Amino acid sequence: MVGSAIWRALESKGYLQLIGRTSVELDLRNQEAVKNFFETEKPEVVIDAAARVGGILANNEYPYQFLMENMQIQNNLIDASLKADVKKFIFLGSSCIYPKLAPQPLKEEYLLTSSLEPTNEWYAIAKITGVKACEAIRKQFGKDYISLMPTNLYGPYDNFDLKTSHVLPAMIRKFHEASQSTVHGPKSTVTLWGSGTPMREFLYVEDLADAVVFAMENKFSDNLYNVGTGEDLTIRELAEMIQKIVGHTGEIIWDSTKPDGTPRKLMDVSKMTSAGWKAKTNLEDGIRKTYQWFLEHQDSFKEVKI
């Protein structure tokens, strides 16, 4: 989702010398393969949009993969970039790097001040090591390596697999499939995890891509920047918004035996705003665009295997 959005954004700005590989073409967990790729292609700028990602269920069930594979991916890219004298490196992380009970909104300086959210600490720890690696290179070698921490992302090419997806695409699929029920139609019941009370912020992926291009074209004074909208809503409000857009009219049941995750994750985006960038897409418009993309591609979805 993220890589394709950045690719489209770069093309729209007139960048033609783009180098990219799918995970099938280049296994970023393989250090030797990454080294050979850099020696052959000699990139000037590297944007790391690669990661093993998933929601609470996937993080809980596959902690080792989420920790180790993300470290392998980013460490191979960062180290190869340093050794190949790459001029600019943009590392994409996640808002989950911040402590579970950090003050809201989340400021960049809250990193490593307290304990993480247990349901995704494996992914968070991996991403924190990437942030610190880029910071270390910036400090030791004076290179323009920066880290952008997006809030929760959604949009075209999202993962709609109910076992591994994040909350927003999972809701889109659940409400859509319920509305298509041959028994009760749009009035079918939908069960969602948790209490619905946690608050979350969501960023349309094309806005993140725009932020990445902005960061690539400008020199930032610091190493870590939050990227988001600076606005949030409850999971219950999100569900009701998606339900309305999809056209589902049935009952929503909240399964409070399932985990909620972090109570709130709102990003302080003042540093990015001061640098000259701000998100453009409001949530309802972004969800409508995402649902339209879902409808056009739903026949091609496959269940993800880990």
Q: Are 108 and 146 in contact (CB under 8 A)?
A: no
- The answer as to whether 58 is a domain residue is yes
- The answer as to whether 232 is a domain residue is yes
Annotated binding residue at 176? no
Any idea what the CATH number is for the domain that residue 254 is in? Answer: 3.40.50.720
- The answer as to whether 221 is a domain residue is yes
- The answer as to whether 305 is a domain residue is no
Annotated binding residue at 166? yes
Tell me how many domains the chain contains.
1
Annotated binding residue at 99? no
Annotated binding residue at 248? no
Q: Among 98, 123, 145, 204, which one carries the catalytic annotation?
A: 123
Active site residue 123: yes
Report how far apart, in Å, the C-alpha atoms of 273 and of each of 145, 159, 226, 234 are.
19, 29, 10, 24
CA–CA gap between residue 239 and residue 197 (Å, rounded): 11
Report strand pairing: 144-150 vs 224-227: parallel
- The answer as to whether 50 is a domain residue is yes
Annotated binding residue at 226? no
Q: What angle do CA 19, 96, 267 make, to 5 degrees?
A: 95
Q: Which domain holds residue 247?
A: 2-300
Model pLDDT for residues 141-180, shown as the tens digit of each residue: 999 999 999 999 999 999 898 877 889 999 999 999 999 8
Annotated binding residue at 120? no
Three-class SS of 130-162: HHHHHHHHHHHHCCEEEEEEECEEECCCCCCCC
Q: Encode the chain (306 residues) as per-residue pLDDT tens digits.
A: 999 999 999 999 999 999 999 989 999 999 999 999 999 999 999 999 999 887 777 888 899 999 999 999 999 999 999 999 999 999 999 998 999 889 999 999 999 999 998 888 999 999 999 999 999 999 999 999 999 999 999 999 998 988 778 899 999 999 999 998 877 777 899 999 999 999 999 999 999 999 999 999 999 999 999 999 999 999 999 999 999 999 999 999 999 999 887 788 899 999 999 999 999 999 999 999 999 999 999 887 654 443
For residue 291, give the nearest of 204, 163, 198, 191 by alpha carbon: 204
- The answer as to whether 306 is a domain residue is no
Main-chain phi, psi angles of 51, to 5 degrees: -170, 155
> How many angstroms from the chain centroid is the CA of residue 67?
16
Annotated binding residue at 264? no
Annotated binding residue at 144? no
Annotated binding residue at 193? yes
Annotated binding residue at 152? yes
- The answer as to whether 63 is a domain residue is yes
